[in-house]
Amino acid sequence: MEENGEDLAVTNDKLSQLSVAEDGGLNLGEKKKKKKKKPLADAEEALTEVTEGAADDDAADAGQLLDMSLTKKKKKKKPKARADEDAVEVDETAEGEADGEAAEASGSGLPWDGSDRDYHYEEMLDRVFGILRENNPELTGEKRRTIMKPPQVAREGTKKTVFTNYMELCKTMNRQPEHVQLFLLAELGTSGSLDGQQRLVVKGRFQPKAFEGVLRRYVNEYVGCNSCKSIDTLLDRDSATRIISLRCQQCNASRTVAPIKAGFVARTSRRIKT
Amino acid sequence: MTEVDSLQSGLGLDPFVEDGEDDSGKDYVHIRIQQRNGKKSLTTIQGLEKSFDYKKVLKAFKKEFCCNGNVVEDAELGKVIQLQGDQRKNVSVFLTGNNLAKKDLIKIHGF
């Protein structure tokens, strides 16, 4: 064990020749006091120091650590970029050991606990995001996709289609059923109405997929917020200007939406003979 | 939406000068589909540029898609081209390919 420790120290010395800066880097070890600028060297030093310190009191722990350090020695021959990653890893293990050894831990679970080395950028970033995620999860910018139920569509007779869960979908979108109906009928170019059980009966044969596509367009146009993509929005109609505007409840953005126009509808039924 | 678009397109220009076409938002070409009996359907094209010779455009459509069609005069919407069958994709490809309408100004309706 001691041999290994010494071995490490030797390699450490070699590393320290790259850049020599004298100062007390870590408070754990007492033998090595050379601080290197490179993170690799830094981690290396921390590791050796901890190893040496541990070797004094706890044999089992030290063995573990030496295992680590042995693998570490192998890694040293690899390019610098990899070594950098390794350095962070090893730092963490070193920190864990340091906690146990110093018998005094602040308990916040941060990588720099129990040592007064400099913080790494990644660690600080992790800390910030951890706090952010804990306190308000919606701010982290993770996508929460709103899932709507697929429309349930049944055929009524041969010429009519019934949209069974129409009301339910209107509720999830938080829109007036009349508005949705107007849009659906205008887009599908047919006529239809609500029946006694609040289902939408549309004239013509339509596949569920057709409804899905139209509903998707409806959500894009009249429900989804353009800036934050949430569907927690309200549709306001200004009675003076007759402009319909969409206001987002999440980010308070608002935009105007086009009124629903049926457009040209060709006559497909037979003309009544006069 | 249109406001943002016009802002982006007119970056180097004076933003207060009226652009005319893009600002109005009314120059959309609407392509719709209507169901008829059975699996037949009807495609209507509304809002093509008024300066076009509709008959010639129709002729080209008919030749290209091998379908019949005609021009219908509507009281509010002006001339509307009707084509037999579901030609929505074809029409939009044709219009963009021959520079008859811009791609972002074409709206395809229906299912």
Is A209 in CB contact (< 8 Å) with chain B? yes
Distances (CA, A) of B68 to A8, B39, B61, B62, B104: 87, 16, 9, 6, 27
Beta strands of B38-77 (E only): which ranges? Answer: 41-46, 69-74
**Which H or E element spans position B92?**
helix B88-97
Mind telling me how many Å the CA of B74 is from chain A's nearest CA? 8
Helix (H, G, I), strand (E, B) or coil at A156: strand
Indicate whether B8 belongs to any domain: no
Convert the pLDDT of each residue in A87-130 to its tens digit: 444 444 444 444 444 444 445 667 777 777 777 888 888 888 88
Indicate whether B4 belongs to any domain: no
pLDDT at position A262 is 77
pLDDT at position A162 is 92
Q: Is the distance from CB of A51 to CB of A3 less than 8 angstroms?
A: no
Indicate whether B51 belongs to any domain: yes
Closest Cβ opposite residue A188 in set B30, B42, B111? B111
Alpha helices in chain A (DSSP H): 2-16, 39-57, 59-75, 80-102, 121-135, 166-173, 177-188, 208-218
Is A208 in CB contact (< 8 Å) with chain B? no
Indicate whether B13 belongs to any domain: no
Instruction: Single out the residue of A106, A120, A115 nearest to residue A53, CA to CA.
Output: A115
Indicate whether B11 belongs to any domain: no
pLDDT at position B68 is 92
Instruction: Single out the residue of A97, A89, A91, A27 nearest to residue A57, CA to CA.
Output: A97
pLDDT at position A27 is 47
Distances (CA, A) of B56 to A202, B51, B53: 36, 12, 5
pLDDT at position B62 is 92
For B80, the domain range is 20-108
* Nearest chain A residue to B77, by CA: A264
Convert the pLDDT of each residue in B39-80 to its tens digit: 888 999 988 888 889 999 999 999 999 999 999 888 888 889
A220 vs A222: CA distance, rounded Å: 6
Convert the pLDDT of each residue in A189-231 to its tens digit: 888 999 888 899 998 888 888 888 888 888 888 888 887 777 7
Instruction: Single out the residue of A102, A119, A122 nearest to residue A50, CA to CA.
Output: A102
Indicate whether B83 belongs to any domain: yes
Q: How many C-beta atoms lie closer than 10 Å to residue B43's C-beta? A: 26
Can you give the CATH number for the domain in which B76 is found?
Answer: 3.30.780.10
Chain A CB contacts of B34 below 8 Å: 189-190, 265-266, 268
Residue with tokens 């995620």: A133
Indicate whether B12 belongs to any domain: no
Quick check: ipTM above 0.85?
no
Is pTM beyond 0.90? Reply is no
Is A248 in CB contact (< 8 Å) with chain B? no
Provide the domain count of chain B: 1
Amino acid identity of residue A175, one-letter, is R
Mind telling me how many Å the CA of A261 is from chain B's nearest CA? 11
Average pLDDT, chain A: 69
Q: Is the distance from CB of A98 to CB of A50 less than 8 angstroms?
A: yes
Distances (CA, A) of A155 to A98, A110, A166, B37, B41: 71, 61, 14, 15, 19
* Nearest chain B residue to A189, by CA: B34
pLDDT at position B26 is 62
Residue with tokens 């008959």: B55
Indicate whether B102 belongs to any domain: yes
Give the strand pairing for A254-257 and A243-248.
antiparallel
The answer on pLDDT for A138 being more than 90 is no
Is A146 in CB contact (< 8 Å) with chain B? no
Cβ–Cβ below 8 Å for A263 and B33: no
Percent pLDDT > 90 in chain A is: 2
Q: Is the distance from CB of B29 to CB of B107 less than 8 angstroms?
A: yes
By mean pLDDT, which of A5-9, A143-147, A173-177 is the weakest? A5-9
Closest Cβ opposite residue A264 in set B32, B36, B111? B32
